[in-house]
Amino acid sequence: MDFVQIREKDLPDRQVFEMTRKIVRLAANRNCFVLVNGRADIALAAGAHGVHLPSRGMSPSDLAWLPQGFLVGVSVHSLAEARLAEKHGADYVLMGPIFPTPSKLLFGPPLGLDYLSRACLSVSIPVLALGGIHARQIPLVLSAGASGIAGISLFQKDLLCSSKPRRELARILREIPSKRNPQSRIQNPEVRKKRAVLRDSGF
C-alpha cells in the first residue's frame, strides 16, 4: 500500500492534525505516503508527505510555497481536468469514477476503462483510478494504464464484510502486480523539474 489519504471533512482542525500525526508515526518505515485531503497546512504541520486537492479546490500552482518533495495530487473527472492539473504542477491525478458507485453519482456516469486508458496516455504524470473498483477489477484497471488504484468501499465494505479481513486484504493486494508502472511511486523527475519552474516563476 503506497498511500493513505486522510479525508475527514467534518472533524475540527485540531482532531485532523492529531489524527494525521498518529498515522504518520504508524506509517514510518513502511514505505507508505500519508496525504491530507485539501489541507496543505495541516499536512505540513503534522509531518505528512503531501496534500490531495479536490477537483474544484486550489490549484497546485497556488501551493508553490510548499517544500520540494511535498506531494500534491488532484482529483479529476475528465481529460481536460487531468491535463490542467499536470500543467499546474500536480505530481499525480486521481481519476474517477471508473465504475458505477453510489458515492460518486454527482460526478455523472462512470468514465469506464477506455476513457481511463486515454487519460493515462494524455498526461505524463501518474494516473490513479477510483470509483467502484473491487478486487477482481484491479488487473483491468492497471492494464488500462493506471499507475495504481484508490478505494473506499474496497477497503471498508469488502473487508468489513469478510470473516477474515486480514486474509481478504492480503488477497486484494495480491491482485496488484509487483511490476507496476515505474511512475507509480510518484517520483517522476520531469514533474519535479516542472514544479520547481512553477515556483521560480512565482506561480
Residue 5 pLDDT greater than 50, yes or no: yes
Question: What digits encode the pLDDT tens for the residues 159-171?
Answer: 666 666 667 667 6
- pLDDT at position 167, please? 74
Specify the pTM: 0.81
- pLDDT at position 2, please? 85
**Residue boundaries of the structural domains of the chain:** 54-201
- Which residue from 21, 71, 11 is spatially nearest to 191, judged by alpha carbons? 71
Q: Where are the beta strands (DSSP E) in 87-182?
A: 92-95, 127-129, 148-149
User: Strand pairing partners for 37?
Assistant: 52
CATH T-level fold of 54-201: TIM Barrel (3.20.20)
In whole angstroms, what is the distance from residue 19 CA to residue 37 CA?
13
Mean pLDDT across 85-92: 96
- pLDDT at position 184, please? 45
Mean pLDDT across 131-148: 90
Question: What digits encode the pLDDT tens for the residues 26-72?
Answer: 999 888 899 999 999 999 999 999 999 999 899 999 999 999 999 99
Peptide bond into 97 cis (omega under 30): yes
Q: How confident is the model at residue 198 (pLDDT cuts 50, 70, 90)?
A: very low
Query: CA 97 → CA 75, 81, 85, 121, 170, distances in Å?
Result: 10, 14, 17, 18, 24
